[in-house]
Amino acid sequence: MTKPIVAIPADIRSFDGATWHAVQHQYLRAALNAAGVMAFIIPAFEAGYDADAILDRVDGLLVSGSASNVHPSLYGAEATERDGPFDPARDATSLPLIRRAIDRAIPLLAICRGIQELNVALGGSLASEIHEEPGIWDHRRPEGVDRDGMYAIRQTVHIKAGSCIADILGPGDIRVNSLHRQAIARTAPRLQVEATAEDGTVEAVSVIDARAFAVGVQWHPEYWAETDAASNRLFAAFGGAVRSYAAGKLLVITAQASA
């Protein structure tokens, strides 16, 4: 059996006056080396895409982090310049893919912006500039450090006993690398909170009625997926779910061919 394939929705980026559809290298590397799967980058367009046509051809969905934010209009809020930057093509591509992947029991791992997209896709809302809220810590990236320092594992999150992530990482406290200025405000009805920061900020969720692996984390397991044990186990669990889905598809195809 060949390696299964996951879809990763792209961001829209501009370089040297040209528009690019891009995904950060760390996500692609983690998919290959920690999850053991191949990745297809899905271009981002605001209209014209058929989510099912994409999902017909892959075995999982990995929704990455990004410097952009989900547009507030998608969760019933007024957008201000401060809430940006925005990427409407990424929103229009990712949210339908998330909904259809869950409906079709296709394994899903959503990271950073991805967990926020997952929450919005299922009817939840987001809070901006959470560091300005009373009692909430500053979860933003530190200043004056290189990328390894920026993504250093330094925050504690508490994983709830009996949760999906507890089955992978164990219950209790673990250390992670969580960098964000937005977070889940109103949790979508179909999501279960799996882990929280020490200030109560939602750091992980799962889809309550999912028929396959469907997990979102606010932190960045992709960055140290090959060297950090917890990050590696999360990607390995996702990879295992993707392989199981691919094997099930192969059995169906084989049965149809022999019928």
Which residues is 183 bridged to in the sheet? 127
Residue labelled with tokens 């992670």: 176
Under 8 Å between Cβ of 212 and 108: yes
Give the amino acid at 65: G
Beta-carbon-side half-sphere exposure of residue 216 (alpha carbons within 13 Å):
33
The two counts, helices (H) then strands (E), for the chain are: 7, 13
- Marked catalytic residue, from 71, 139, 180, 220: 220
Residue labelled with tokens 């949760």: 163
**Residue 112 among the catalytic residues:** yes
Residue count of the chain, please give it: 259
- Marked catalytic residue, from 78, 81, 112, 139: 112
Under 8 Å between Cβ of 112 and 219: yes
**Residue 164 among the catalytic residues:** no
* Segments in the chain forming alpha helices (H): 25-33, 51-55, 88-103, 113-121, 147-150, 164-169, 229-258
Q: 253: which 2 tokens?
A: 């195809």
Under 8 Å between Cβ of 68 and 13: no
Which residue numbers are catalytic? Answer: 112, 220, 222
